[in-house]
Amino acid sequence: MIAFAKANPYFERLNTCLLGLSIDSNSSHLAWMNDIYCMTGIILPFPIIADRNGSIARKYGMISNDVSTTETVRNVFIIDDKGIIRVILVYPLNVGRFIPEILRIIQALQMSDCNHSSTPANWLPGQPVIVSPPTTFPLLQERQNYINENNNGMNWYLSFENPKPECLNKIKDD
């Protein structure tokens, strides 16, 4: 909770809202929030939903019956503005979440959506993206010529371009 609270400004810059879900009670959440504030001075800037009966956690597959019938695994769901789950990360109980990777995933999704492209393995903001493959043979030939002239790909199905400036501005992470 503390790490997400500290990273909240980065999520906000990406037009992303955080939401916590816990099978603990609202009283427990208030106690956590108070302890966090008293020990660190940090106020959690996002809501935490009390899912006392675990119905939401079960619907989202957050309770691993192999581990426990009452404890949730550490899940991260990235849900877009249309309510579609785009990414699910599942961390075991004993492994903390890696917030820089979560931020990178959000940036990659936003870049892919804005640029109508894909991001390659190990992509970082500002790096080239994969151009969508051509859909006709004449476009394939045009792409192959473009790759040969610009040395920006391996073949018609794997070529790269710099992201559109308007897309770069959307995901800028100061």
> Where, residue-wise, is CATH 3.40.30.10 in the chain?
2-97
Percent above pLDDT 90 for the chain = 76
Over residues 160-168, the mean pLDDT reads 92
Percent above pLDDT 70 for the chain = 93
Whole-number pLDDT of residue 174? 42
Looking at domain 2-97, its CATH superfamily turns out to be Glutaredoxin (3.40.30.10)
pLDDT tens for 17-40 read 999 998 889 999 999 999 999 999
Angle between helices 2-13 and 99-115 (to 10 degrees): 20
Whole-number pLDDT of residue 94? 85
Under a CB-based contact definition with an 8 Å cutoff, are residues 153 and 147 in contact?
yes
Q: Distance between CA atoms of 34 and 162, rounded to whole angstroms?
A: 46
Look at residue 100 and give its three-state secondary structure: helix
pLDDT tens for 61-99 read 887 666 555 566 689 999 999 999 999 999 888 889 999
Q: Distance between CA atoms of 74 and 98, rounded to whole angstroms?
A: 11
Over residues 151-171, the mean pLDDT reads 90
Whole-number pLDDT of residue 115? 94
Over residues 38-44, the mean pLDDT reads 96
Whole-number pLDDT of residue 66? 62
Look at residue 129 and give its three-state secondary structure: strand
